[in-house]
Amino acid sequence: MPDAGSTLPRRQLGRYLTEWRTRAGLSQAKAAQLLEMGATSLNRLEKGQNSRIKSRDIQAICDLYGVHDDLTSALIGLARQSNVKSWWHQYGDVIPKDFDVYVGLEAAAVRLVSYQPDLVPGLLQTADYDRALVQLAWADSTDAEREQRVQIKAHRQNIVTRKTQPVSLEVVIGEAALRRVAGSRKVMAAQLRHLADMSTRPNVTIQVLPFEAGFPDGISMPPFVILEFGNAAYAQAVEPPVVYLEGAVGDIYLEKPNDVSRYHQSYEGIRQVAWDAAASRNLLRQVAREHEQRER
């Protein structure tokens, strides 16, 4: 019988538990012995295979590994969410608002496919572009707090530029994202040139969906990211792919194969009518020049 709950928070929880056990210098067998838990049970927990997870077990594990209180609360929240069939993560609800579930999934992915109609994707944003957005989104924060957010974004971008096994990144960006000004036209010019430069990397594909393409699906698709985690032996997925939808009050994670397939189909339809990589690169540089000219 298939497990009743969502596999996504279980897998995320398993990754964190494995990481912190390793930090504590414990083998899986030794940790299980100290926890008075079967080694098989701990192994299933770390692989995200337990369908029912007890909060007290997670608390005991975190105590043994020396996990700090804030992260312990987040991991207990993940354990509770694992029993929910359709997973919707609302900040400040079960999981602490400062725990970014998506970032952990992003770091584990080997391929990211994204459609962003209005904004430059986060992994491709310059610091000044991101800073302009953070200034508005976190207006009540201090300058130091806002700058910390910018630095966190910059750190996330390492998965694209690292020398060893960089993530494969495929994005379609709406033309509106090129022309809508964040910060200033000078900031936009630099941002678009950065996109053009990044698109020359072998692991990065950037296409622009022009206004003239209309609505490929007959509807206005929201921004989305499809995260894929690679294949093991016999072409089996290491983990099932996930569709991420960011919301103003909460984030939605779709795991059902039919849902993921639907977003793959939508992306393919959008990609086919978008400009190809070379034409998109030329457009990025052209619009960058337009911003510079209007800045003078």
- pLDDT by residue (tens digit) across 120-142? 999 999 999 999 999 998 888 88
Name the more confident of 8 and 90. 8
Q: Strand, helix or coil at 174? A: strand
Q: What CATH code would you report for 7-87?
A: 1.10.260.40
**Geometric angle at alpha carbon 266, from 262 and 276, rounded to 5°:** 145
Share of the chain above pLDDT 70, in %: 88
The one-letter amino acid code at 17 reads: L
| Tokens standing for residue 287 | 């619009």
Q: Strand, helix or coil at 67? A: coil
Position 192 scores a pLDDT of 98
Query: Is the model's pLDDT at 4 over the cut of 50?
Result: no
Cα 296 from Cα 277, distance rounded (Å): 29
Name the more confident of 157 and 50. 157
Of the pLDDT bands very low, low, confident and very high (cuts 50, 70, 90), residue 284 is very high
- Answer CATH for 101-295 from 3.30.870, 1.25.40, 3.30.1240, 3.40.1710: 3.30.870
In the chain, CATH 3.30.870 sits at: 101-295
Name the more confident of 235 and 101. 101
Cα 161 from Cα 128, distance rounded (Å): 18
Of the pLDDT bands very low, low, confident and very high (cuts 50, 70, 90), residue 2 is very low
Q: If phi over 0 gives left and psi between -120 and 50 gives alpha, with beta otherwise, what is residue 95?
A: beta
Highest average pLDDT, of 22-31, 214-223, 248-257, comes from 22-31
Cα 120 from Cα 118, distance rounded (Å): 7
Dump pLDDT digits (tens) for 243-258: 999 877 677 888 888 9
Partner residues linked to 206 by β-bridges:
171
In the chain, CATH 1.10.260.40 sits at: 7-87
